[in-house]
Structure 1
């Protein structure tokens, strides 16, 4: 049925679902286990409810960017998992002030009309995070809906978590993030018109601002790139950082696509961050920087071929 930006005023056809409830940033194995529990409880039919913006962004707006997925990618991934609907529960002062019981009665029962709710074992809700999974189960029994609590999912002896994904990306370990995600982390955004320095140096780049997406470790990466969410993934090399040699500026992702010619300004770019090659450096001259760029291309091609 699609995406709903509120829990109020829903059509009858969208209410009464078995839902998976949580933040679902990254859609790792733990999230997918919660979704699978909602699917099983709903006899194959289920929906997903999440918070928009995430509570962390509401309570700590000055923190560095932390989203693993943009909302559009999160929602598309959830729908691809088979969900009938995604409910983006608006997280604002009103939502933050609800007690755990008020949240369950007003949002889950009166709003969504849930038949069943699945959550992770560490799910918290209500004012000051007062509610927990066992409290939700107790309220569910009292108010007439079932609750499934999904236990911790391990990923190679480590908890599958969004926190672990963020830690890996900030450490320059995209392969570790991919192992938890179940596939490469993808940075995406519109292609921006930049200073065109790459073209001058013989390595034209397609640039995008990550904005609210988590900022991975500054440096050079072996990547694959896709334009407008369709077609083949094209090999390349990318730099994420502030370009200290040519003049500091806000962090930018600059992707050089091998053997590509075309005008893609304004189009949507997706970049699979596959391997970290080196940190961002300050060069004594532009000539030295260009020499290193050539080495980066060779190393990126080697790493991509090896993978």
Structure 2
């Protein structure tokens, strides 16, 4: 998938899904779906993407004159998130960039354009945003947005306004209704709330997949090996949203293709007076060097909240109990 933060580097013409899309949850997928119908086959995509691109060193403009005419399914999002831009407060993300790219690729999206959100962009009127960004820069041929999409200066433009403005240029706009599960709106906020309460089934239902943490194994204090439970300390991206502190039953996918089961602890490790949150995984029936490898941890069940024990012996006994509980959960999931 082509990923760019430069509008002049975007592959055009485009069919655009507009939004922030943190999580790529089921609601987001419905907004993205209308722009995917232009992909005829994987063979066509491979053929198109095999054409060499030349880039002008001065303008950074991609030249693709020899490429067959093709409308690129394109997700357009903003960096930083507009809310982060206006408040100055960092936002935690359900899907940092690498995860977002992976999820979009799995849907069949061909391009991700991360439009830099600046003071000048924020000042554009809805009309100017459509003309200058969508039409002049992205050569947009069709657009899809959620019904609650707002844009332009002070968020004064609505999805209906977008449809009316685009109609003046002959560009069709699909407005996707808000999707719900069990009467509740599917949203990134609802997923965060579920994860904060350890409600993994709810988060999974809204996402359409289990929640995962991905990171590189780094050296920790190596306390686990002294009590018989060596753990892999995972450095997840600092912007990644972490669920409730505590212990989880997990499936683990290792960089080289192996996968296994285990228990994961998220928290400050109060028993040893830890002060910084960490993500540690103990893998069942595993031996080998994991340092430097990337692990993707799939959260299956929240077992218990973080707690402080009076001694390392008590901690060891509890970890053994956690392992037994996790194995029962994970074996049940595979039946």
Normalised to the residue count of structure 1, the TM-score between the two structures is 0.92
Indicate if the aligned counterparts of 1:120 and 1:152 stay in contact, CA closer than 8 A: yes
Comparing 292-301 and 92-101, the one that deviates more: 92-101
Match for residue 212 of structure 1 among 220, 224, 239: 239
Match of 2:62 in 1: none
Contact map agreement 1:21 1:50 (CA 8 A) in 2: yes
Alignment of 1:1-307 (within 5 A): 2-10=2-10, 14-40=11-37, 42=38, 46-62=73-89, 65-210=91-236, 211-228=238-255, 231-307=257-333
Structure 1, 130-139 or 76-85: larger mean CA deviation: 76-85
Residue 9 of structure 1 deviates from its aligned partner by 4.3
Q: Residue 61 of structure 1: CA displacement? A: 4.1
Q: Secondary structure at the match of 2:7?
A: coil
Give the aligned length: 301
For the aligned residue pairs, the C-alpha RMSD in angstroms reads 1.7
Shift of 1:101: 2.2
Larger radius of gyration: 2
Shift of 1:192: 1.5
Q: CA deviation at 1:248?
A: 2.2
Query: Partners in 1 of 2:233 and 2:119 — Cα distance?
Result: 36
Distance 1:2 1:95 in 2: 23
| SS of equivalent to 1:145 | coil
Gaps of at least 5 residues in structure 2 are 41-71
Residues 1:262 and 1:58: Cα distance change in structure 2 (over 3 Å):
farther
* Equivalent position SS for 1:184: coil
The alpha-carbon deviation at position 241 of structure 1 amounts to: 0.5
| Residue 52 of structure 1, CA deviation | 2.3
